[in-house]
Amino acid sequence: MTDPVVGLVLEGRYRLEERVARGGMSTVYSATDLRLHRTVAVKVMAEHLAHDPTFVDRFTREARAAAMLSHPNVVNVSDQGSDQGLVFLVMELVRGRTLRDLLTARGRLTVAEAFAVLEPVLAGLTAAHRAGIVHRDIKPENVLIGVDGVVKVADFGLARAVVGNGTAQASQTGGVLIGTVAYLSPEQLERGKADARSDIYAAGIVLFEMLTGHPPYGGDTPLAVAYQHVHNDVPAPSEEVPGLPWQVDELVARSTRRDPGGRPIDAGAFLAELAALRKELGIEPVPVPTGRSTAGPGTLRPTNRPTRPRPHDRHPSAPGTAVMGASKRTSMLPAPGAGPTTNVGGRRPPVRPGVPQHVRRRRARLAVAVVLLMVVTVGAIGWWFGSGRWTDVPALEGKSREAAVDLLQDAGLDPKPVEEWSETVAAGAVISTDPGAGREAIRGTDVTVVVSKGPERYEVSPDLVGRPVAEVEAELTDSLPVQIQLAEVYDDEIDAGLVAGFDPPAGTELKRDQVVTVNVSKGHAPVAVPDVRGQTPEQATANLEALGFTVERAADGRSADVDKGEVMAVDPAPGAAAPYRSTVTIQVSEGVPMVTVPDVVGMSEAEATAALQAAGLQVEATKFFGDRVFRQSVKAGESVEQGTKVTILLTFG
């Protein structure tokens, strides 16, 4: 079917020669610039978008911003306009293929080849990020590889142009989210917000795909893929390609962290990490793989012609930025065949006959254009080396890390966040910058942003209680910047030599260099010996053993105060503190003590009474006409129990 747009001349300058690619948002044509007699690519916006004033306005502003980029790894945008109801963009025509085509043909790339492709991509993105432009749709379809091996990033500004449009919100009921779901960052999917770190995430996904041959996530629906981006960490490429260096896994992990704050701050930072890793691994530079075979350029499949997807595999090879629910498609495809950029699809632009005067006019116009270009260039250089390359460092103290990064990038400066503890500034807020606020700095200068980590606090883990003191002391010394001192304490639960606790208690927030006392158990505290005298041996033993003592019984003794069969003595003495589980000795009474009866015969009553009482005996006297002891009831020298009564008979001496 003939495309009705082919043959139109836009703004009297660009004649559309052939449709080379078509997508959901735009169609790409090869065209002839009638003014400069060169072949260009013209991208015409889809009709339903061309009638949306909000989109056209944003597209126009973003196209102008993209046109300001001048970098060998960015597809050059030379013009933008609208004519005959068509909104269009004019850019250079790149001959070769997309990275998607290369991966389709090769399956996956080596680490060296993947680096060779990613480095120029990041170089182009670095120029964009420093100009305040976020691509928002990095994917293999938007990476063009020329037949000469030059890598260019296409479609700058288009995804950003539609952000904020009322139809550009994620929805399951007709709403759309601009971009290709397989490469969108979690913040784009969750909040519709994107910055330079969103491009880093997409570049990390592209690196994963180059190393493995496919994106990390797949699913039956775009929503299923989006869910995995938001809730899962990107797997390590080496899980699928054994032998990949672990450092490459870490690079992919850093660039695809779900938290934007954990990724490289922009493409320049990512490129620096890539260069450092190349040096660390000793990876020698290799040519960018172009996919050309030894049969010559004729075997290279044209990539700016639409390809028919296979029925069983809708491979993302069609042009156009995709929407949620659509397949992955690129917004620009390079021209087919090989040769100079004035050739498209293997044809030379038509040579129109002319008279020598026409040739002279063209040469004159070209000379004027060259002079004007030189004037503009000299002016731009003068502006740059005058005031244009200087900018003021914005005031960032107290602002969030994300806000500070945005303000610095808007000012053309490169943020370099570092974190420090602060007792006065809340965590996540900016403490200071270097250079300071209001200072002049050259655009592109690194600005150190000191971000607060909040008050410096540490905690001792409760898990250390009950462990050997040497172990605990070593662990605290290695892990916490606090001062440690030891103290011995009794603990009824913790064995001697183990840590019984801390002062301040474990879990308390500690400042740097704060003194922490490690309480080392001396074992169970000493136990006071109870008074078990007067108890039966069985009662006394039970009571002592209940307190942890071991009970031993000494030889029985006699006591005037304790009845026979009761405990008369305890060692250690009652009330004394004895070590836990030590031995307590008890002695049981056999009755009162035995005493020897003195000989009191011949003594006076008073003398005999005194002697017998002194021996612990009771005295009873019977008088018979005298006051001298004539007889005693218990013979002298006999042993009797203390308290025994002795009767004395008194008579004349």
Give me the residue label for tokens 């695809």. Answer: 256
Type of residue numbered 646:
V
Query: Residue 171: what pLDDT?
Result: 28
Q: Would you say 600 and 629 are in contact if contact means Cβ atoms under 8 Å apart?
A: yes
Q: Would you say 78 and 67 are in contact if contact means Cβ atoms under 8 Å apart?
A: yes
| 345 pLDDT higher than 50 | no
pLDDT in tens, 118-135: 999 999 999 999 988 888
Classify domain 527-588 at the CATH topology level: Trypsin Inhibitor V; Chain A (3.30.10)
Query: Residue 532: what pLDDT?
Result: 93
> Which residues pair with residue 597 across a beta bridge?
none
Query: Residue 145: what pLDDT?
Result: 94
Contacts of 267 (CB under 8 A, 6+ apart): 122, 123, 125, 126, 128, 129, 196, 199, 200, 203
Query: Residue 473: what pLDDT?
Result: 92
Query: Residue 175: what pLDDT?
Result: 37
Q: What angle (nearest 5°) sits at the alpha carbon of residue 213, between those of residues 209 and 217?
A: 55
Q: What is the mean pLDDT of residues 277-282?
A: 95
> Which residues pair with residue 621 across a beta bridge?
648
Query: Residue 409: what pLDDT?
Result: 85
Q: What angle (nearest 5°) sits at the alpha carbon of residue 269, between those of residues 258 and 69?
A: 105
User: What are the sequence ranges of the domains in the chain?
Assistant: 9-91, 390-452, 462-521, 527-588, 594-651
What the block records as the tokens of 83 is 């004519």
Most confident by average pLDDT, 214-218, 219-223, 407-411: 214-218
pTM of this prediction? Answer: 0.47
Q: Would you say 399 and 425 are in contact if contact means Cβ atoms under 8 Å apart?
A: no
pLDDT in tens, 176-187: 445 678 999 999
Query: Residue 164: what pLDDT?
Result: 35
At 471, the pLDDT band (50, 70, 90 cuts) reads very high
CA 530/CA 543 separation, integer angstroms: 8
- Looking at the structure, give the CATH architecture of the domain made up of residues 9-91: 2-Layer Sandwich (3.30)
Q: Would you say 176 and 162 are in contact if contact means Cβ atoms under 8 Å apart?
A: no
Establish whether domains 462-521 and 527-588 are of one fold: yes
| Residue 611 CB neighbour total at 10 angstroms | 18
| 328 pLDDT higher than 50 | no
Classify domain 462-521 at the CATH topology level: Trypsin Inhibitor V; Chain A (3.30.10)
| Beta strands per DSSP E along 320-413 | 390-392
Query: Residue 496: what pLDDT?
Result: 92
Q: What is the mean pLDDT of residues 137-160?
A: 83
> Which residues pair with residue 434 across a beta bridge?
448
- Identify the sign of the CA torsion 543, 547, 551, 554: negative
Mean pLDDT estimate for the chain: 82
At 326, the pLDDT band (50, 70, 90 cuts) reads very low
Query: Residue 293: what pLDDT?
Result: 41
| 455 pLDDT higher than 70 | yes
| Residue 151 CB neighbour total at 10 angstroms | 23
CA dihedral 114, 207, 257, 168 (to 10 degrees): 140
One CATH from 3.40.1190.20, 3.30.10.20, 3.90.650.10, 3.40.50.1370 for 594-651: 3.30.10.20
CA 558/CA 566 separation, integer angstroms: 10
pLDDT in tens, 362-402: 666 676 666 666 655 555 555 545 545 688 999 999 999 88
| 169 pLDDT higher than 50 | no
Q: Would you say 336 and 345 are in contact if contact means Cβ atoms under 8 Å apart?
A: yes
137 a catalytic residue = yes
Query: Residue 626: what pLDDT?
Result: 78
Catalytic residue among 3, 33, 79, 137: 137
Q: What is the CATH number of domain 390-452?
A: 3.30.10.20
Tell which wins on pLDDT, 405 or 200. 200
